[in-house]
Amino acid sequence: MLLRLKRFLIGRPMKSHELGDEKLSKLKALAILSSDALSSVAYGTEQILIVLITLGFAALWYSIPISIAVLALLTILVLSYRQTIFSYPTGGGAYIVAKDNLGVRTGLVAGGSLLVDYILTVAVSTSAATDAVTSAFPNLHPYRIEIALVMILFLTIMNLRGITESAQVLAYPVYLFVAGIFLMIIVGLFRVATGDVQATPAEFGLDVSGISLFLLLKAFSSGCSALTGVEAVSNAIPSFKAPSEKNAASTLALMGIILGSMFLGISLLAYFYGISPMKDVTVVSQIAEAAFGRGPIYFFIQGTTALILFLAANTAYAAFPLLAFMLAKDKFMPHAFMIRGDRLGFSNGIIVLGLLAGVLAIVSNGYTENLIPLYAIGVFIPFTLSQLGMMRRWYRLKPQGWLIRFLVNGVGMVTTLSITLIFLFTKFSQVWMVFIFLPVVYVMFQQIHRHYMAVADELRIDLATDKPEAKGNTIVIPVAGITRVVMNTISYAKSMTDNVIAVYIGFDDEDIEKMEKKWEEWDCGVRLIVLRSRYRSIIKPLVKFIETVEWKNSETGHITILIPQFIPKHWWQNILHNQTSLLIRYYLFKYKDVTISTVPYHLNK
């Protein structure tokens, strides 16, 4: 039943050599990896305006130079990451680059930061998409969390099905969103050029009283939230079709160009149309309404915007499992993250991401907007470390023309570091949590690593000298009566060794006497030891007895407990059997160094 449900949801299992088919073409990669970055234009300009409007309408013209600054930053990031892609064709995420050039510890800071960030991406994006849905259908508002959770569940299942099929589903909305925004920008600017717009924008270049560097920096850092998601491509190079690094670099450049044009276009339109941020209507919505009126094109733009926010969450589903895989390979996360599922995705990573994002959505009660700055700083820390790593690399390897590359990454490092500091400086009240979760994740990585290394040490043997030796073995069989199951178990034990002891635990004299007599009558060739339990406990007398055997047996070595286990025909019958044997298993296994053999007895009725 469960298996059939799994097949229906996830699809048939795939062979390992089908892995190649699952690689992404450039266009598909653009859809699946860039929806996070592209969706940011839905709120990037607005974030800038929200900060500026605190000084009044006249200050809004600053959004143009600030947008250009963000654009410059985007260019720097794209150029820097292009270099990373070619240097690390097997996947050049911040974790790899930082680890490779700055040491494991720095790599873990970058990796941990990104890992937490992907969870935030899913929670924040699905909440934002939910907002879009509930804005359209206000009567759905009480079900915000449920809607967000359904989205997360849907994303999880889709990703368990495999990355290419997901991309096919996801590609169209991204294309439509890009087409819609470009249409809006072209039509909008054309109408501005033809003087078709009545709005009076804030006077450009006017000195506004109260403007401060702090405020401008704050507005700039807010605008930088439009750049989250740029790193996704460099993390996912192995998912590209060959030649993967070239395709990845082209995809990154294409994404940068599209993102930059859309962002600048929206900022310009917002300025020319004299739009100020409103509480209930987004800036993009205001522009679309001003350009097209509340017609079908308006609703088309609104709809695709809502959809792409939902898809932005999907980016994390591509990135998180890959990063978890890399960390697990380096023994910083549980091995389970290295296992590819039936459909060749890293199932455990996908499931864990879905679960954690779901928990985050629940505990934040669906209002994750406040997490956006935290989410942004969580991206800029690994950005900075990755650039620093690349600088170190150029300096170390000094290939031809290294100085210019060093400078490109140097500029990238300085700017991303500055932005990280600006975040801390201007928005500390929203980002302080980074100082809690980063150390926690870091310590977790280290603990897991230490554990795996210690175990590997402990388990290592010398092939030449360490060989298995046969020792003695005592088999203990707890019996509650004389039945076919007991006979079966004794027969099994006798086929292993002659050293077999049956143990009966009685609660009162009458039972004990009866059992002893019956056993004698049976005469099965195995000695019966009777223990009296005054507390009606099975476990304690058994443990004591095993300790005695251990003490007597210290040289011969092994002790085996044989526990018969009923396998009923119907699952519900399990609650009618096996409770005691489960208890015995659990206790003995936890506290004693004995081998526990469960001998199955399949019930026919």
- Residues 524-563 binding a second copy (CB under 8 A) are 524-526, 534-537, 557-558, 560
What are phi and psi for residue 488, nearest 5 degrees?
-55, -50
What are phi and psi for residue 401, nearest 5 degrees?
65, 30
Question: To the nearest 10°, the Cα dihedral for 303, 306, 310, 312?
Answer: 110
Q: Is 279 in the site for a second copy (CB under 8 A)?
A: no
**Least distance (Å) between residue 24 CB and a second copy:** 21
Report yes or no: 394 and 84 within 8 Å, Cβ to Cβ: no
**Least distance (Å) between residue 539 CB and a second copy:** 11
Alpha-carbon gap, residue 444 to 438, rounded angstroms: 10
Contact set for a second copy, span 473-492 (CB under 8 A): 473, 482-485, 487-488, 490-492
**Least distance (Å) between residue 347 CB and a second copy:** 11
Contact set for a second copy, span 299-338 (CB under 8 A): 334-336
Alpha-carbon gap, residue 392 to 528, rounded angstroms: 73
Q: In terms of CB distance, is 90 or 579 closer to a second copy?
A: 579
Three-class DSSP labels, 483-544: CHHHHHHHHHHHCCCCCEEEEEEECCHHHHHHHHHHHHHHCCCCEEEEEECCCCCCHHHHHH
**Least distance (Å) between residue 549 CB and a second copy:** 15
**Least distance (Å) between residue 286 CB and a second copy:** 40
Q: In terms of CB distance, is 241 or 494 closer to a second copy?
A: 494
**Least distance (Å) between residue 342 CB and a second copy:** 7
Region binding a second copy by CB under 8 A among candidate stretches 12-20, 114-122, 358-366, 389-397: 12-20
Q: In terms of CB distance, is 294 or 471 closer to a second copy?
A: 471
End-to-end CA distance of the chain: 21
Q: Which of 323, 178, 306 is nearest to 239 (CA)?
A: 323
Q: Which of 169, 217, 192, 231 is nearest to 40 (CA)?
A: 231
Q: What are 170's two structure tokens?
A: 């996801």
Q: In terms of CB distance, is 142 or 296 closer to a second copy?
A: 142
**Least distance (Å) between residue 111 CB and a second copy:** 18
Region binding a second copy by CB under 8 A among candidate stretches 290-298, 405-413, 422-430, 466-474: 466-474
Q: In terms of CB distance, is 53 or 524 closer to a second copy?
A: 524
Contact set for a second copy, span 429-458 (CB under 8 A): 448, 451-452, 454-455, 457-458
Q: What are 204's two structure tokens?
A: 């450009």
Q: Is 359 in the site for a second copy (CB under 8 A)?
A: no
CA 272 to chain centre: 41
Q: Is 4 in the site for a second copy (CB under 8 A)?
A: no
Tell me, residue by residue from 494 to 513, as one string, x for binding to a second copy by CB under 8 A and - for no binding: xxxx---------xx-----
Q: Is 597 in the site for a second copy (CB under 8 A)?
A: yes
Q: Residues with Cβ < 8 Å from 537, sequence gap 6 or more? A: none
Task: Return the exposure string of 163-172: e unless at least 16 CB atoms fall within 10 Å of the residue's CB, then b.
Answer: bbebbeebbe
Alpha-carbon gap, residue 34 to 232, rounded angstroms: 7
Q: Is 581 in the site for a second copy (CB under 8 A)?
A: no
Region binding a second copy by CB under 8 A among candidate stretches 127-135, 265-273, 301-309, 594-602: 594-602
